[in-house]
Amino acid sequence: MQDLEITAYLHAIELQPKSVYIVHEKTERLLPMHSHTKSQFTYVEGGIAYIYTENKTYFIPARHYVWIPKGLPHFVKVRTSATITRNLYFYTDDDHTEPFYGKLGIYPVNTLLYEMIGFTNNWNGDIEKKDNTYHFMAAIKNILPQLSTRSFPIALPTTTNSRLRPIVLYMAQYFGQQITLESISSRFGMGERTLSRLFQSTMNISFLQYLKLLRIVRAIEMILQEDRSTTDIAYLTGYNSLAAFSKAFFQLTNIRPSDFAKHNS
């Protein structure tokens, strides 16, 4: 996307501060790091999307949405063109009424919200107070704090640290192998305590916590995008047994991998 197109798109979102701006196209995913004076609701209808902020990568599976508060720098990325996202940009003059509106969160979409989102399919651009559809859009925003009480907890820290970034990239490529603190320390020529401290000080997470997060993210990708059994996915993501994989998955997501697969099939 050219700079002029980006400027025009962002200007269109901001033009009417008290409106709801609707986009069902794939424009948002083409933008570089940016922010809005409006709050953003992005629903992932099919596939997987990622929200990148300045220090974390948030994972959004299908039938989930992300709420991005006003002013938060971010960009959206998808792995395949088949991923469908729907973007609603909301007025913010009432954001102070609910703590929900002030923080980024990823939430599952229940049947009610799914039907409401689907009802907006034929609308695009600004929905203003004078429009008959405005109260419907306001109702979507108003019910979010009540419907969305538990955020999907998968977020991978990111880093530009010159010592740690090559290690993180290596782990992203070989997450299915038997990676240990000892093996990574040896490969990259640093002590185990040094590497452990580097993870903690740079990304505020332990080496083992990061590895577990990485593996569960990759497992979720496989569940949503590949026709594999839960047992296969367990071994492909570096676990020695289905039981160990299921336990780690549940600890991070509060749902068993088999149940997650059923709910997102």
The pLDDT, as a whole number, for residue 77 is 85
Confidence of residue 241 (pLDDT cuts 50, 70, 90): very high
For residue 152, is it within any domain?
no
166 and 251 housed in the same domain:
yes
Helix (H, G, I), strand (E, B) or coil at 158: coil
pLDDT tens per residue, range 80-127: 766 788 899 999 999 999 999 999 999 989 999 999 999 998 899 999
For residue 11, is it within any domain?
yes
27 and 115 housed in the same domain:
yes
Across the chain, the runs of DSSP E, i.e. the strands, are 20-23, 39-46, 48-52, 56-61, 64-68, 75-78, 84-90, 105-108, 125-127, 155-157
63 and 192 housed in the same domain:
no
132 and 203 housed in the same domain:
no
For the record, the structure tokens of 263 come out as 């709910």
Domain of residue 91, residue span: 3-147
The domain spanning residue 89 has which CATH number? 2.60.120.280
14 and 109 housed in the same domain:
yes
Confidence of residue 263 (pLDDT cuts 50, 70, 90): confident
The pLDDT, as a whole number, for residue 255 is 87
106 and 214 housed in the same domain:
no
The domain spanning residue 203 has which CATH number? 1.10.10.60
- Report the domain count for the chain: 2
pLDDT tens per residue, range 30-70: 788 899 999 999 998 877 888 999 888 888 888 899 999 99
Q: Is residue 265 predicted with pLDDT exceeding 70?
A: no
Domain boundary among 147, 176, 208: 147
193 and 109 housed in the same domain:
no
For residue 154, is it within any domain?
no
The answer to whether residues 23 and 124 touch, using CB atoms and an 8 Å cutoff, is yes
Tell me how long the chain is.
Answer: 265
The pLDDT, as a whole number, for residue 145 is 96
Q: Is residue 25 predicted with pLDDT exceeding 60?
A: yes
131 and 176 housed in the same domain:
no
Q: Region 248-265: what's the mean pLDDT?
A: 84
For residue 73, is it within any domain?
yes
For residue 153, is it within any domain?
no
Domain boundary among 112, 147, 182: 147
141 and 182 housed in the same domain:
no
131 and 217 housed in the same domain:
no
Share of the chain above pLDDT 70, in %: 95
The alpha carbons of the chain give a radius of gyration, in whole angstroms, of 20
The pLDDT, as a whole number, for residue 82 is 66
The answer to whether residues 127 and 88 touch, using CB atoms and an 8 Å cutoff, is no
Share of the chain above pLDDT 90, in %: 65
For residue 166, is it within any domain?
yes
9 and 100 housed in the same domain:
yes
For residue 244, is it within any domain?
yes
pTM of the model: 0.81
Distance of CA 3 to the CA centre of its chain: 25
141 and 183 housed in the same domain:
no
Mean pLDDT for the chain overall? 90
Cα–Cα distance, 57 to 45 (Å, whole number): 19
